């Protein structure tokens, strides 16, 4: 079996079926890579770059295509190395590596289909019989009565844990987040007291500061604010607190880990082992959050997870892409012994459900290892036709001159 072509498919569809996230984000874009062969088999992968800057993906895929045409999938690591090396000056971290991630994922999907095994078997085999799943909840919808309805909705869907954003979100006022240490600590501490009082002690609760991707460039916590917030929420038994600082400050993260009683998580914005090592070497995270559609490839994900495991750290996959992204993360999560928990959208949108088909199986708040050969994803012509790409549908951080309207 030889590769004959590599293609990019851009789509735009509903962001999610979750009504509480739809309040702030109505649609999503997605970028899929198809690897065509001289057989009936097609490899499929997703790059999370398609959620942010989909228009940029096809040209980068075309750049990598000559490296793959005429090749087999016998040695995916070598094909990855060739693509990575040919983009040496611009692909060590960032967008080039994001797109390479989707191409490499499609290679693993193709190899799994060819050998008749799920991808996690190719990555070393499943290390877990099942994994606990938490509901990725986006913002804290306010007022608090709305927040309670949001939590009840997630628990009604079978989840036994959920994550909420820092600050508050309402359709009238948008996202609001105190910056000063005392005000931020008072607000987040009060919120967690309400949440824990609502759900009791047994439900897992996580928080996300979104400081690595703040909707407002002027709203970012510093170390003292983050530390004050950690002290305020510590009595409520959080499983972790994600992104309490910006990713330009690994040393601040390291200091926060030393000072905080709450496990500090992060890493969704990081690409490649080189960038991850900067954070890992100074113990910047208690729990790392690589993304198998963004970090640089499934192979890179495994290397990052091993790097963290060697330092006694757990991982909790970041999974906010479409169906390909979610399944890529799921296979990697099962293949890593130090996976602590898995992130999933609550109500799958069609760009999740139509692509994953029956490969996603969740029971009693736990997800089971995928059994379908490859990644367990399919992109039909019907789905392509239903969700034509809309230019400008990627999500970005609003700034003067370029304002996100959806």
Q: What is the CATH number of the domain that holds 343?
A: 3.20.20.120
For residues 106 and 125, state if they share a domain. no
Please report whether residue 128 resides in a domain.
Answer: yes
> For 48-145, where are the E strands, in sequence order?
131-136
Using an 8 Å Cβ cutoff, are 32 and 383 in contact? Answer: no
The one-character DSSP state at 375 is T
Contacts of 74 (CB under 8 A, 6+ apart): none
350: tokens are 């069609």
401 is a domain residue: no
On whether both 241 and 306 belong to a single domain, the answer is yes
The two beta strands, 168-170 and 366-367, are unpaired
pLDDT at residue number 217: 53
> How many Cα atoms within 13 Å fall on the side-chain side of residue 356?
26
Instruction: Say yes or no: 226 and 340 in one domain.
Output: yes
Say if CB 188 and CB 232 are below 8 A apart: yes
In a domain, 402, yes or no: no
| Distance from C-alpha of 370 to C-alpha of 117, rounded to nearest angstrom | 10
Residue 305 pLDDT > 60 = yes
pLDDT on residue 216 = 58
Residue 98: domain span = 3-118+380-386
The C-alpha R_g of the chain, in whole angstroms, comes to: 20
Same-domain check for residues 84 and 151: no
CATH of the domain at 96: 3.30.390.10
Same domain, 247 and 283: yes
Helices 223-233 + 181-199 axis angle, to 10: 30
- Compute φ and ψ for 204, nearest 5 degrees: -75, 130
Residues 266, 284 contacting (CB under 8 angstroms): yes
Could you tell me if 140 and 109 lie in one domain?
A: no
In a domain, 7, yes or no: yes
Q: What is the DSSP string of 261-279?
A: SSPEEE-TT--HHHHHHHH
**148-180: pLDDT as tens digits:** 999 999 999 999 999 999 999 998 888 899 999
- Residue 296 within any structural domain of the chain: yes
**Together in a domain, 242 and 275:** yes
Look at residue 158 and tell me if it is in a domain.
yes
* Statement to judge: residues 125 and 114 lie in one domain: no
Residues 334 and 245 in one domain: yes
Domain count for the chain: 2
Residues 96 and 155 in one domain: no
* Spatial separation of the C-alpha atoms in residues 152 and 179, rounded to whole Å: 29
Residue 82: band (very low, low, confident or very high) from pLDDT cuts 50, 70, 90: very high
Same domain, 223 and 281: yes
Say whether both 55 and 188 belong to one domain.
no
Tell me whether residue 404 is in a domain: no
Query: What is the predicted pLDDT for the residue at 90?
Result: 94
Average pLDDT estimate for 337-347: 96
**Is residue 375 one of the residues assigned to a domain?**
no
Q: Which DSSP state fits 368?
A: P
- H/E element, 77: helix 76-86
């Amino acid at each position: 079996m030889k590769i004959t072509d590599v293609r990019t498919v851009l789509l735009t569809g509903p962001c999610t079926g979750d009504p509480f996230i739809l309040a702030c984000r109505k649609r999503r874009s997605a970028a899929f890579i198809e690897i065509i062969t001289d057989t009936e088999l097609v490899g499929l992968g997703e790059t999370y770059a398609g959620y942010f800057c989909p228009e940029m993906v096809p040209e980068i895929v075309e750049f990598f295509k000559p490296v793959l045409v005429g090749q087999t999938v016998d040695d995916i690591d070598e094909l990855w190395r060739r693509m990575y090396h040919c983009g040496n000056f611009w692909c060590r971290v960032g967008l080039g590596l994001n797109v390479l991630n989707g191409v490499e994922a499609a290679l693993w999907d193709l190899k799994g289909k060819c050998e008749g095994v799920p991808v996690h078997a190719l990555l070393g085999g499943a290390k877990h019989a099942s994994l606990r799943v938490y509901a990725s909840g986006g913002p804290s919808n306010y007022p608090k009565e709305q927040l309670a309805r949001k939590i009840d909705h997630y628990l009604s869907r079978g989840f036994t844990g959920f994550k909420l954003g820092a600050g508050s979100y309402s359709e009238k006022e948008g996202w609001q987040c105190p910056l000063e240490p005392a005000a931020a600590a008072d607000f987040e501490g009060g919120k967690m007291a309400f949440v824990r009082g609502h759900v009791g002690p047994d439900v897992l609760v996580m928080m996300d500061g979104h400081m690595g991707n703040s909707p407002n460039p002027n709203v970012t916590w510093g170390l003292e604010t983050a530390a004050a917030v950690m002290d305020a929420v510590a009595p409520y038994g959080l499983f972790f607190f994600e992104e309490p600082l910006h990713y330009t400050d690994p040393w601040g993260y390291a200091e926060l880990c030393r000072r905080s009683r709450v496990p500090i998580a992060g890493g969704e914005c990081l690409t490649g082992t080189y960038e991850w090592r900067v954070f890992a070497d100074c113990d910047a995270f208690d729990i790392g959050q690589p993304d198998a559609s963004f970090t640089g490839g499934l192979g890179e994900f495994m290397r990052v997870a091993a790097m963290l495991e060697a330092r006694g750290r757990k991982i909790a996959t970041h999974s906010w892409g479409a169906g390909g992204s979610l399944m890529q993360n799921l296979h990697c999560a099962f293949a890593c012994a130090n996976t602590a928990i898995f992130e999933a959208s609550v109500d799958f949108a069609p760009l999740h459900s139509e692509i994953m088909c029956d490969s996603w199986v969740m029971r009693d708040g736990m997800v089971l290892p995928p059994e379908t050969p490859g990644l367990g994803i399919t992109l039909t012509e019907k789905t392509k036709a239903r969700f034509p790409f809309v230019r400008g549908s990627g999500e970005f951080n609003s700034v003067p001159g370029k304002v996100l309207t959806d």
